[in-house]
Amino acid sequence: MSPLLDASAYHTLLRSFLAEDIGTGDITTETTVSAAQRGRGAVIAKAPLVLAGIELFAEVFRLLDPTTAVEIVSHDGEELTAGNVPATVNASARALLTGERVALNLLQRLSGVATLARRFVRAIEGTQSEILDTRKTTPGLRALEKYAVRVGGGKNHRQDLGEAVLIKENHIRLAGGVSAALTAAQAAKGRARWIEIEVTNLDELRAALTHMPDVILLDNMSSAHVRQAVEQVRKHSAPKKIRTEASGGITLDNVREFAEAGVNWISVGALTHSAPAVDLSFEIEPE
């Protein structure tokens, strides 16, 4: 089942998007369409996709016209094919025209993220690995893009810098090495959900294992090296289970190799930074 989204919680964000797009006023619509005119808009899928953000789409028009009536036929998480109509909107024609671009941009963007996430999740079916996102999100849209990842079947990594410790190469360099960084990170143990460190080779891995972090991120390693690293972690960490994560250079073509290497998590920045917008249109007719 798809996670639920309370679109009303995003009113401030949606209003800011509308303000950005409307500017001093939609002069085209205001001069060509009567304020009394009503219209009916239909969302149409132009290609296969996983739907995400349909409630936000509807909320844009409700903010512009409180009399808006929306019929949602397909819900977030459902897979659509070309020609499917997931929702129709009856509202002031001016509201439909003015809100169209903001509403459609959000729906296309979030559905694109969900669609790509679903493809990665399907690619590793039958393994013990999970697909995770990263913090490589669009500023201002992180919560929504991470929601779309969940809609697609993926999991969320850190929501923000305060959730967990993730020691990366620059932290290691500035702290003075793997051991120094992990020793210092123990000060955050009471407030961090987990402590994780990134390693790029087996020497760094061995250094990290002596400190028993919660998670070890195997960064930019080949799937063969990841398999070796996972075996070392399993031997060293028993009976405590240290989770392993693979990241860097992972695509739909090779993601299953990494899953079969035995990692717990596979984090894919492309889910949010490179997901293409899906092909949707919004066709408006006079009511």
What phi and psi values does residue 17 have, to the nearest 5 degrees? Answer: -65, -40
Comparing CA positions, the residue from 219, 146, 150, 210 lying closest to residue 178 is: 210
- Name the amino acid, one letter, at 108: Q
* CATH 3.30.420.40 for the 164-268 domain, yes or no: no
Q: Which residues pair with 165 in a beta bridge?
A: 195
Q: Which residues pair with 143 in a beta bridge?
A: none
Catalytic member of 40, 78, 79, 101: 101
Q: Which residues pair with 283 in a beta bridge?
A: 42
Q: Name the residue ranges covered by the structural domains of the chain.
A: 7-121+275-286, 164-268
Mean pLDDT of the chain: 96
Catalytic member of 59, 65, 100, 198: 198
- Name the amino acid, one letter, at 85: V
pLDDT of residue 240: 75
> What is the percent of the chain where pLDDT is above 70?
99
* Neighbour tally for 199: CB within 10 Å: 23
Q: Which residues pair with 92 in a beta bridge?
A: 38
The pair of three-digit structure tokens given for residue 134, joined into one six-digit string:
């990263």
208 and 237 in contact (C-beta within 8 Å)? no
Catalytic member of 15, 168, 191, 193: 168
The pair of three-digit structure tokens given for residue 260, joined into one six-digit string:
């079969």
Rounded Cα distance between 268 and 222, Å, is: 15
pLDDT of residue 238: 72
pTM value > 0.85? yes
Place of tokens 């919660």: 214
Q: Which residues pair with 197 in a beta bridge?
A: 167, 216
Q: CA 187 from chain center: how many Å?
A: 30
Rounded Cα distance between 229 and 216, Å, is: 10
Residue 53 gets the label, from left (phi > 0), alpha (psi -120 to 50) or beta, of left
Dihedral sign of CA atoms 34, 40, 43, 46 in order: negative
What H or E segment, with its residue span, contains residue 276? none
In this prediction, residue 4 has a pLDDT band, given cuts at 50, 70 and 90, of: confident
Whether 189 is catalytic? no
pLDDT of residue 231: 96
Rounded Cα distance between 258 and 19, Å, is: 44
Whether 198 is catalytic? yes
Whether 158 is catalytic? no
Q: In 124-239, which residue ranges form alpha helices assigned H by DSSP?
A: 142-151, 169-175, 178-185, 202-209, 223-237
- Asked if the model's pLDDT at residue 156 lies above 70, the reply is yes
Whether 219 is catalytic? yes
- Asked if the model's pLDDT at residue 100 lies above 60, the reply is yes
114 and 100 in contact (C-beta within 8 Å)? no
204-209 mean pLDDT? 96
Q: In 10-128, which residue ranges form alpha helices assigned H by DSSP?
A: 11-22, 27-32, 54-64, 93-123
Catalytic member of 119, 135, 136, 142: 136
240-256 mean pLDDT? 95
- Asked if the model's pLDDT at residue 239 lies above 90, the reply is no
- Asked if the model's pLDDT at residue 1 lies above 50, the reply is no
- For the segment(s) 7-121+275-286, the CATH number from 3.90.1170.20, 3.20.20.150, 3.30.420.40, 2.60.450.10 is 3.90.1170.20
57 and 85 in contact (C-beta within 8 Å)? no
Whether 46 is catalytic? no
- Asked if the model's pLDDT at residue 2 lies above 60, the reply is no
How is residue 2 annotated by DSSP? P
Pairing mode, strands 38-45 and 280-286:
antiparallel
